[in-house]
Amino acid sequence: MKVWEVSNPVFVKVLPDYRLTRVRELLRKKEARIAVIISDIASNKFGGYVGRREAIMLTSMKSDREVREYAKETPVLYRDMSIEEAIKILRENNVYAAPVLYSRSNPQVIGVLSLRDIIRALKSVGYVPKAKVAGEVMTTDNLTNYIIDQNREITEVWSKFVYDNVKALVVTQSSNNPRPVGIVTPKDLIDTGRWYFRREAENIVTSPAKVRSIMTRGVIVANIDTPIEEIANYMIRYDFSLIPVVDKDGKIVGVVTQEDVIRAYLEGIKPGRVPIPVAPPPLPVPATESPTYISSGEALSQVLVKTKAPKVSALTAGEVSIPNFPAVRIDNTIEHVLKVMLRNRVNQVIVVDKEGRIVGSVSKRNLLYSIGIKGPLWKRRPFDKEFIWEVINENVPIVRESAPIEEVARQMILNDSEIAVVVDKEGVMTGVVTKDTLINAIKETDHANLKVENVIVPLKLSIVHPHHSLAHAVRKMKAYYLDALTVAEGNIIKGVVTENKLPFLALEDSRTGIKSRRLIWIRRLERGGRPLGRYIKVTPLLVEDAMTPLQDSVKISDRVSLAVEKMREYDADGIPVTDDEGTVLGVLCKYDLLRSLARSAPSLKEEWIAKEARVRGRR
């Protein structure tokens, strides 16, 4: 291939007397890597160029410096060069893009060629990478040059970009916790405008900002067995300069640059490296295991072993309600909702309008199914522009203070809600009842004495393999109204997939429609909801990536009260269930318990009696 075949004819043109501040603005608006200086507009005569590195050399918001003062004339490429020669020139000069001229005798600018353009061209003509995975070509030498602590001053980042010509830096949680939490590039400095530490016209030096204040929060990461083709796809789509490679503990072990990807396609494994097996795809799901969606009414009747429904408890909605419950406004962002949930350690929030009237609720379940399966494109700040009205559940039941908790559970099931508003005789709101509230109240009812077999759904519906795609697990949870699944290999319990740990997961590739999203927003939490770190993973997300490790279980003959205690102990929405011989049968989850309460609701009994009477009448 020749350079002219793959270069981009659309580029940013500037004149020599343009102020550098104006060029910086153009680079920001056009999201371009370089701006080409044209000395003659009529003929596009080449007069030099500047990149993002030159654009941030000014440390002031105001300046009269002209672009000609910072222009560089090399390296340049020519239209008839081979791609291999162009790559060599870009590599030797440590640049990611350069202008393309017609010829040495005719310095007319005809476009710009970047490493990204080359990767796109290699894929479009059918090249297959000679090196298959990240670990075979990743950069590991001088790795500290690519990493910076989020608490360092931005002047250190600026120095690396300007003096060391570094293209991007991976930002870590801290020096003691080297897990990636973000990335910072010259583009971030240009975009934010918050990095200036001097005003040129004044002899004033302000306190430099910290890296965390301008970095891009969230960072794409790969494992050593991540396919090169997957990394190439996202470099093409988002123009990432590099992607960090992490081990199973999240520690950075290398970075894959655009240059490394090109090497993988054309040259193969780096000297001294050994071939690494490609990460296996998700385990295929047999047709017999594909979930079959059922209605909420059908879900109420699903139970392994039926028994006489416990009598209605004396507990009422007013006695178990929460008087003060967090609320958000309908015009808030989903990111704000998550913060409120983390801060208040809840799984649901009330939604009110501008006048303070309740218009619905949002739960982590709503977030998982409304956003997760929609699969929005990854953005620099995911979900900033997603608003509550896109995920809200408007069917929030309203119950009297005197309503038994069984009736509250029934209303929640029928309205597919995890929250109910409690009002007094005058219709004034006095509190809120949540799914978790009802589960905690079960220990004071006859339901606590039921056996697990009287509550759990039919066997095997709630089991997944660690290597199943997470999307398959979520589909199962949605189809059978479950909020947890047991993860097991044969009869060896590995853990549980629990709904309260799965917010904000994009599970569907919006480009291909394949429901095993390769670009995943992961938020790992510790007790108290404080974020440890967050990153985005460039591989199909499997069940084992998101499960809560857990080897404990309850037996099918145990009482429900024991399962409730274990759920609370592990902060999980479900607990694995086995028989007396240790065979894994499924999971007992909070939705099973909620359905058990609902089946004892007085109004539900009346409905069943009326239905039976109608059936007998037809006979």
Strands (E), 103-168: 109-114, 147-149
* Residue 325 and residue 442 in contact, taking contact as beta carbons nearer than 8 Å: no
The two tokens of residue 282 are: 């998700």
Closest C-alpha among 425, 416, 420 to residue 405: 420
Query: Do 400 and 445 belong to one domain?
Result: yes
In tens, the pLDDT along 32-63 reads 999 999 988 888 999 999 999 999 998 777 88
Is residue 198 helix, strand or coil?
strand
Q: Which helix (H) or strand (E) holds 362?
A: strand 358-363
The most confident of the ranges 10-24, 219-233, 307-321, 362-376 is 10-24
Task: Give me the mean pLDDT over the 530-552 stretch.
Answer: 67
Q: What does the mean pLDDT of the chain come to?
A: 83
Does the structure show a pLDDT above 60 at 132? yes
Q: How much is the pLDDT for 275?
A: 92
Query: Do 8 and 93 belong to one domain?
Result: yes
Query: Do 83 and 195 belong to one domain?
Result: no
Query: Do 438 and 325 belong to one domain?
Result: yes
Does the structure show a pLDDT above 70 at 607? no
Q: How much is the pLDDT for 526?
A: 33
Number of domains in the chain: 4
Task: Give me the mean pLDDT over the 317-342 stretch.
Answer: 88
Query: Do 455 and 594 belong to one domain?
Result: yes
Q: How much is the pLDDT for 214?
A: 84
In whole angstroms, give the CA distance from residue 490 to residue 303: 23
In tens, the pLDDT along 479-538 reads 888 999 999 998 899 999 998 887 644 443 333 333 333 333 333 333 333 333 344 556
Please check whether residue 39 lies inside any domain of the structure: yes
Query: Do 102 and 156 belong to one domain?
Result: no
Q: How much is the pLDDT for 16?
A: 93
Which residue, 266, 289, 305, sits at the end of a domain?
A: 266
Please check whether residue 128 lies inside any domain of the structure: no
Residue 279: which pLDDT band, with cuts at 50, 70 and 90? Answer: confident
Give me Rg for the CA atoms of the chain. Answer: 29
Query: Do 408 and 327 belong to one domain?
Result: yes
Query: Do 171 and 259 belong to one domain?
Result: yes
CA atoms within 13 A on the CB side of 304: 22
Residue 201: which pLDDT band, with cuts at 50, 70 and 90? Answer: very low
Q: How much is the pLDDT for 618?
A: 47
Does the structure show a pLDDT above 70 at 191? yes
Between 603 and 453, name the one with better pLDDT. 453
- Residue 249: CATH number of its domain: 3.10.580.10
Please check whether residue 334 lies inside any domain of the structure: yes
Does the structure show a pLDDT above 50 at 329? yes
Does the structure show a pLDDT above 90 at 196? no
User: CA distances (Å), 352 to each of 334, 349, 427, 525, in order?
Assistant: 14, 10, 17, 28
Task: Give me the mean pLDDT over the 146-156 stretch.
Answer: 91
Q: Which domain holds residue 202?
A: 134-266
Q: How much is the pLDDT for 207?
A: 63
Q: How much is the pLDDT for 617?
A: 53
Task: Give me the mean pLDDT over the 169-194 stretch.
Answer: 85
Query: Do 162 and 102 belong to one domain?
Result: no
Query: Do 494 and 594 belong to one domain?
Result: yes
Task: Give me the mean pLDDT over the 230-242 stretch.
Answer: 87
